[in-house]
Structure 1
Amino acid sequence: MAIRLLIFLLLCALPSRAQGFRTWVRGLEARGVTVSAGIWDVDTGRALERHDDGVSLVPASTTKVVTTYALLKTLKPDTTIETEVWGDLRDGVVQGDLVFKGDGDPLFTSERVWMLAQSLKKEGLRRVLGTVRLDQSAFDAQREPQGWENTSVDTLPVVRALSVDFNRDDRGRILEDPDRQAREIILRILRETGITVEGGAAGPEVPRKLATWTSPPLRALVQDINKWSNNFMIEMLTRRFGAGSWPRGVQRIQAFYQSAFNLGPEAIRITDGSGLSKENRLSARTLAIILRGAYHDFEVGPEFVSSLKIIGGEPWKLKIKDPNLTRRIRVKTGHLDRVTSLCGYLQTFDGKVRVFAILLNGPTRDEDVWEQVSRWAN
């Protein structure tokens, strides 16, 4: 008798859970919100619940899932980026200008300039007859990606091949002339290190590479990008992926998914790497395919999965007050005006891992996505 009662209760619970998902979708659509959402078993790929999961919507920062996995898989997690210093050094004196050549290191900060200056001092550099010059030739002249006409473009500084402190001032404000600040920071640190820069006219030079600064490995950069949703860093890496060109970088990302997942440009419709563009279009199904593929990718999957935000396990507040979600959710969030998105992995109480994606376009709030994620997890 007890077994029959248990079976009856289980059967009753199944449609109730499905009904909760349908009610959630209907409630959002009644408010004018377009929904693309679903949850899948990570092992089999079987859809457990979904609604318009093939409909492509504006994804906001969940675009970074697409970009960062493609970079990790193509370039490999140990890839680094070198910033070079060139000059005509003779007997401790650079005869002309000291040239800093950037190649797209997105984490070139004042602290790293200081360490690079120490390397120059160890090489015997004591005086520069000319001045400090920045070589930005690794990137083309395009100032912003396509599709930023209708978004918050003022949230991102100019992306240059050599950028210091994310091209922001010490108060976090975006700089109109980031090259000027970069030169000033480099000059100040050189002088503090004991290297005199006289600022004279540059004469004929026979430059050679004097020193290099190597960035942290790509796996560490991706951690910062996904956990903090750092738009500047991922756009810098996207440009570098395209040999200095945003369009080429985006095309390489799309070509990777066409080859690796058979996801064509109609599925990966992006114009940038960060998700700031409202011309980007992804579906819940596309995000789930990528997330599931990354989860089972022994080569780079662990680095990718660990780059996602761990709810309750790191210094980020829960968007919904549900202590049951602690360390059971790994996600990438996305926010733009009238866009709320969330995708990632969750673990059920019985230890099963699910992959999920929710894209909402319309008058939304964070609680709209966390309500359903909490229901799936609990």
Structure 2
Amino acid sequence: MRSLRLSPASRIPPAARPTLRRLAWGLLLLWPFTSWAQSPTHGGPSSLPAPVTAALQAQGIPAEAVSLWVAPVDGGPPRLQHLSETLRPAASVMKLFTTGAALRTLGPAWTWQTDVTLTGTLRPDGTLTGSVHVRGSGDPSLRMEQVSLMLSRWRGAGLRHIQGDIVLDRTAFQLPAHDPWAFDGKGLRPYNAGPDALLLNHQAVTLHLMPDAARPGQVRVAMEPPLAGVTLDVEVAPDTRAGCGDWRAALDLQLSPAPGWPQHHLSPWRVHVRGPYPLSCGAQTWPVLWPGANGEDFAARLLTQTWRQLGGELDGQVRSGVWPAGAGIWQSWTSEPLAEVVRDINKFSNNVMARQLFLTLGGAEATARTVREATSTHAPSPCGSAQLVLDNGSGLSRTEGSTALCLGQWLQALWASPAMPDLVASLPLTGVDGTTRRWQGAAGYARVKTGSLSGVAAVAGYVDGESGRRHVVVGLVQHPGAAAARPVLDALLNWTRQDR
């Protein structure tokens, strides 16, 4: 059998030789560009960039455990796609679906209303012969300061003495009992708080530890906000030798009913803190979720204590109930606008606020519908049921997940929408603020949401390239060693920025 080979130049007809020479020069000029597109060093669409590969190898994470997608924000062809159609958990990056859908459908000026009505008669001396009813609508931003200001407005409107109860209507959310210990066994961590139609101060207290200015060399501990019936018991010894380190691990924290008391409304509780505290730590804070399957006990203690501090009197108790049929509104508290709420959710990855917003949207079905409609201009649509699974909208879930392609094209759709300015402003800036203040990848040039769970690490958002173009970047890592994957994601952000 004869082999095939190119004919020597001496056998090419003279008339054809100029044309072939021009073709050869053209191919030679194009060679660097075709080489860049295919070279793993420069990260072509079907290959991993060399810095990412090196970081994966250094951390012992296989390439099969990673999904990556990088593309221009304006919807051009992707610069990089690696296992981008593999469904993976994305941890807190899933908040981008919740916050983006809320900005698109509700708008940045959306607010929640917390209504108040009175039963009975409010007399000129400030005595109410009935009860105060408070109806929640899911406001995620009713922190301690807002609660105090809301109740001070009751006092400003002439209310001083409530002879009945303070009745809390939580029926805007119909939810099963929430177990804060169920997800990871850390039920005192504020990120495990459950949603509540009348969520007050995220159902959490903060312990403040600090050197005592009045007693040099000693440690002072304070609890904020103060709660009715709760005593702070402190046995903290100053440590003058140790470095700061993991100071919480050295302390023992217990929250329990005071011994010898029957359990009833506002029965005494004790917060007991004991152990060594390094004075080198200076002032530190320790957020703690108040125990309980729902927020009723916390709300009762917070409202009772706040009302008393404002000079109010309450003969009855704080309890759950329903809004009186046909009742008018005496006062109404308006929340922060949605744009500010979204900023808090994304900058600081607040789970319970994201869950409140998710329920306000209508849950998984409504949120997924918004995402699919927004990405339907892309063919094929990347966000079907096999590409996007929603559970509670916060990412604190073992079932929620997305493909890198779905998440990336959702970010492209948001960039092209009126929601873009508020969404982008809500994202942490790497190396500067929020949850990415210690990240090094594209520091100062990447606005991204990050996420981490056991076995999961993720990043997604927008990166300003050195060329002046902006890019959507998505990186999802699913591996037992994902806790060490930050150098991989930093390398991805740096590579995305280096787009010249």
Q: Normalised by the shorter chain, which TM-score bucket?
A: 0.7 to 0.9
Cα distance, 1:6–1:317 mapped onto 2, change above 3 Å: farther
Work out the CA distance in 2 between the residues paired with 1:191 and 1:318.
42
2:81 aligned partner: 50
SS at match of 1:173: strand
2:134 aligned partner: 100
Query: More displaced, 343-352 or 219-228?
Result: 343-352
Retained in 1: the 8 A contact 2:160–2:311? yes
1:312 equivalenced with 2:431 (yes/no): yes
Alignment of 1:183-198 (within 5 A): 183-198=300-315
Work out the CA distance in 1 between the residues paired with 2:193 and 2:443.
35
Query: Which structure has more helix as a fraction of its residues?
Result: 1
Work out the CA distance in 2 between the residues paired with 1:151 and 1:117.
36
2:346 aligned partner: 226
Q: CA deviation at 1:22?
A: 5.0
Equivalent of 1:165, from 189, 201, 212?
201
Letter in 2 for 1:274: S
Residue deviations 1:288-318 (CA, integer Å, cap 9, x gap): 1011111111x21110111111113436533
Q: CA deviation at 1:338?
A: 0.8
Retained in 1: the 8 A contact 2:167–2:318? no
1:31 aligned partner: 61
Alignment of 1:1-378 (within 5 A): 15=39, 16-18=41-43, 21-23=48-50, 24-25=52-53, 28=56, 31-32=61-62, 34-88=65-119, 89-91=121-123, 92-144=126-178, 154=187, 155-171=191-207, 172-177=287-292, 178-199=295-316, 208-242=328-362, 249-262=363-376, 263-297=383-417, 299-314=418-433, 316-320=436-440, 325-362=442-479, 363-364=481-482, 365=484, 366-378=486-498
Letter in 2 for 1:259: E
Work out the CA distance in 1 between the residues paired with 2:457 and 2:143.
32
In structure 2, list runs of 5 or more residues that go unmatched.
1-27, 208-286, 377-382
SS at match of 2:358: helix
Work out the CA distance in 2 between the residues paired with 1:193 and 1:208.
25
Query: More displaced, 27-36 or 309-318?
Result: 27-36
Retained in 1: the 8 A contact 2:300–2:318? no
Q: CA deviation at 1:126?
A: 2.0
Retained in 2: the 8 A contact 1:227–1:308? yes
Work out the CA distance in 1 between the residues paired with 2:344 and 2:493.
24
Retained in 1: the 8 A contact 2:446–2:493? no
User: How many residues are matched?
Assistant: 360
Aligned-residue CA RMSD (Å) = 2.9
Percent identity between matched residues is 25
Cα distance, 1:56–1:84 mapped onto 2, change above 3 Å: same
Q: CA deviation at 1:209?
A: 2.4
Work out the CA distance in 2 between the residues paired with 1:269 and 1:207.
41
Residue deviations 1:256-281 (CA, integer Å, cap 9, x gap): 12333233222221112001112112
Work out the CA distance in 1 between the residues paired with 2:393 and 2:185.
15
Work out the CA distance in 2 between the residues paired with 1:201 and 1:179.
8
SS at match of 1:78: coil
Residue deviations 1:98-131 (CA, integer Å, cap 9, x gap): 2222111111112111211222122221211112
1:245 aligned partner: none
Q: Which has the higher contact order (CA 8 A, sep 6+)?
A: 1
Retained in 1: the 8 A contact 2:172–2:197? yes
Which protein is bigger by CA-based radius of gyration? 2
Query: Which structure has more strand as a fraction of its residues?
Result: 2
Cα distance, 1:27–1:165 mapped onto 2, change above 3 Å: closer
In structure 1, list runs of 5 or more residues that go unmatched.
243-248
Retained in 2: the 8 A contact 1:98–1:132? yes
SS at match of 2:329: strand
Work out the CA distance in 2 between the residues paired with 1:134 and 1:161.
10
